[in-house]
Amino acid sequence: MNAISSDFAPPLKLIAPFFRYGVIFYLLSMMALLFFDPSFSYQQMEVAGWLHLFLLGFVMMVIFGAMAQLIPVVLEVGHVVVDVYYVILPLLGVGTTMMIAGFWLVPPLLSYGGLLVLTGMVIFAFENIATLKKSALRNLTVDTVKWSNGYLLLGILTGFSIALGFAGSVSIDVALMLKAHVYAVLGGYVLLTIMGLSLTLIPMFSLAHGFDEMPIRQAFKLVVLGVGTVFIGALLGTEWGMLLGYLLSFAGTLFYIWQIYIIAMLTVRKEVDVWAKSMIFAFGSLIFAMMAGMVYLLTDAESMLHTAVWFFLLGFVSLMIIGHLYKIIPFLVWFERYAPLVGKEKVPMLHEMYSKEGASVMFGFTASGVVLGGLGLLFECDILFKAGGSFLFAGAIFLYITTKKMLAYGQ
């Protein structure tokens, strides 16, 4: 392992807006949940609009910002053209807003917004691939970045085909293309990226060392294969192909959970801060989502599918991201504003740079909201679902306030 130069680190002014706008989109998506009821179809335009608000506005926005910072750490080289992130941000932000307006209010905007998002993501994927080529490093995380970016491109292309299909510009089977699109983005990009990054970040923050990486290697192979199988199965319309792909992905995710368990057993830091609580809740949600998903495959009960997706997105993906925001943002702010002062004057510790009370309230509301909303979907109970949405919205307000304060610390 060579030295990782601080020269590779992008400036805070480039990365911070991704987190700031990502959290605003999260707040808006939690607010929008208040207007949904628990019986719906995932093919409805309102639901598709909400999913894009959450996934593009929050998940992708934060992941892109995090990748701008973490790619040099993981690959040990600087970005080829880090300034492209100044272009990606407005493309993703404006494109997402237009797409949501297209889904909910003005359908023609969908294609135009989709085109902006497509452009931003293609720039992101190609910059990542160019940086990958520059790095001499070859390890599991590098492979994960490579595959996840490939699936992102496939996800974008299928998504754009769907937008053109809705607009009547091309003739495609939207339902099958939708499955290919959802799986390429969620399994191929989001899950693989989280798997790769968490293998770097979780041991780093928990000070776990010397663990066996066999499970994550199996997890990675199985998820890559599983996503590819579902993708091809969906494009060809073969149900058994998709089923095989789901099972491979399930097996891969089980190996991933096993890897995290091994790391958790070797964790040195026992402090249960907002990051640790978020990780525990996120992996608990992932296990529950898998169980609900398995029941859905066996029974075909739609409520089980909704519950599985809910716990995967709002329990696992959300909490994985939110928990890490309380580690990454203080570090970025500290690195920019306090690192030059080390040895010259007293500088704060990272854990002093966010409100523990605010973070704790955020976690309480969010975790309660996920559980209540999930039960609301499971039992198709409107009151429980609305209660869950309200708790999640309250948690999102606290996330917004604490994030704003972290970014402004020491200004």
Partner 1 sequence: MCNITKETAFEAISTVIDPEVGFNLVEMGLIYDVIVDEACNVHVVMTLSTQGCPLHQMIKQWVQEAVEKLEGVGTVEVEVVWKPAWNISMADENVKQALGGA
- Note the residues at the interface with partner 1 (CB under 8 A): 1, 3-7, 9, 69, 73-74, 200, 203-205, 207, 209-210, 268-271, 331, 334-335, 338-339, 342-343, 347-351
Determine the Cα–Cα distance for residues 299 and 321; give it in Å rounded to an integer: 31
DSSP 213: -
Smallest separation, CB 326 to partner 1 (Å): 12
271 token code pair: 């402090």
Backbone angles phi, psi at 151, to 5 degrees: -65, -30
Backbone angles phi, psi at 238, to 5 degrees: -100, 110
Question: Taking a C-beta distance cutoff of 8 angstroms, is the pair 384, 37 a contact?
Answer: no
Nearer to partner 1, 69 or 111 (CB): 69
56 token code pair: 């593009």
Nearest to 51 by CA among 147, 159, 199, 168: 159
Determine the Cα–Cα distance for residues 115 and 127; give it in Å rounded to an integer: 18
Determine the Cα–Cα distance for residues 266 and 201; give it in Å rounded to an integer: 14
Smallest separation, CB 359 to partner 1 (Å): 16
Nearer to partner 1, 6 or 411 (CB): 6
Smallest separation, CB 327 to partner 1 (Å): 9
Nearer to partner 1, 37 or 352 (CB): 352
Nearer to partner 1, 36 or 211 (CB): 211
Smallest separation, CB 366 to partner 1 (Å): 24
Question: Taking a C-beta distance cutoff of 8 angstroms, is the pair 43, 93 a contact?
Answer: no
Smallest separation, CB 361 to partner 1 (Å): 24
Question: Taking a C-beta distance cutoff of 8 angstroms, is the pair 361, 398 a contact?
Answer: yes
Determine the Cα–Cα distance for residues 47 and 31; give it in Å rounded to an integer: 14
Residue 351: which residues within 8 A CB-CB, separation 6 or more?
273, 330
Nearer to partner 1, 276 or 381 (CB): 276
Nearer to partner 1, 302 or 336 (CB): 336
Complete DSSP assignment for 80-149: SSTTHHHHHHHHHHHHHHHHHHHHHT-TTHHHHHHHHHHHHHHHHHHHHHHHHHH----SHHHHHHHHHH
Smallest separation, CB 201 to partner 1 (Å): 8
Nearer to partner 1, 9 or 55 (CB): 9
DSSP 345: S
Complete DSSP assignment for 300-316: --HHHHHHHHHIIIIII
Smallest separation, CB 203 to partner 1 (Å): 7
Nearer to partner 1, 87 or 208 (CB): 208
Nearer to partner 1, 165 or 203 (CB): 203
Task: Measure CA 244 to chain center.
Answer: 25
Determine the Cα–Cα distance for residues 89 and 84; give it in Å rounded to an integer: 9
Nearest to 319 by CA among 328, 329, 311: 311
Smallest separation, CB 6 to partner 1 (Å): 5
Nearer to partner 1, 4 or 387 (CB): 4
Smallest separation, CB 205 to partner 1 (Å): 8
Maximum alpha-carbon separation in the chain: 66
Nearer to partner 1, 24 or 329 (CB): 329
Determine the Cα–Cα distance for residues 164 and 335; give it in Å rounded to an integer: 44
Smallest separation, CB 190 to partner 1 (Å): 21
Smallest separation, CB 87 to partner 1 (Å): 24
